[in-house]
Chains A and B, each alone.
Chain A
Amino acid sequence: EVVLTQSPGTLSLSPGERATLSCRASQSFGGKNLAWYQQRPGQAPRLLIHSASSRATGIPDRFSGSGSGTDFTLTISRLEPEDFAVYYCQQYGNSPITFGGGTKVEIK
Chain B
Amino acid sequence: EVQLVESGGGLVQPGGSLRLSCAASGFTFSSHGMHWVRQAPGKGLVWVSGILSDGRVTGYADSVKGRFTISRDNAKNTLFLQMNSLRAEDTAVYYCASQIAVGYWGQGTLVTVSS
Contact = CB atoms under 8 A, between A and B. Distances in A.
Contacts of A39: 45
B20 to A, nearest CB: 15
Contacts of A90: 45, 47, 100
A98 B47 contact: yes
A96 B50 CA distance: 9
A37 interface: yes
A51 B47 contact: no
Nearest to B46: A99
Interface residues of B, number: 20
A75 to B, nearest CB: 19
B101 interface: yes
Interface in A1-57: 1, 35, 37, 39, 43-47, 50-51, 54, 56-57
B105 A44 contact: yes
Contacts of B45: 37, 39, 45, 88, 90, 99, 102
Nearest to A54: B101
Contacts of B14: none
Nearest to A34: B100
Interface centre among B45, B46, B59, B60, by most A CB within 10 Å? B45
Given A44-B108, A45-B95, A97 B47 contact: yes
A46 B47 contact: no
B103 A47 contact: yes
Contacts of A95: 59
A97 B37 CA distance: 10
Given A44-B95, A88-B45, A102-B44, A97 B105 contact: no
23 contacts: A35-B100, A35-B101, A37-B45, A39-B45, A43-B107, A44-B95, A45-B37, A45-B95, A45-B105, A46-B103, A46-B105, A47-B103, A50-B103, A54-B101, A56-B103, A88-B44, A88-B45, A97-B59, A97-B100, A98-B47, A99-B44, A99-B45, A100-B44
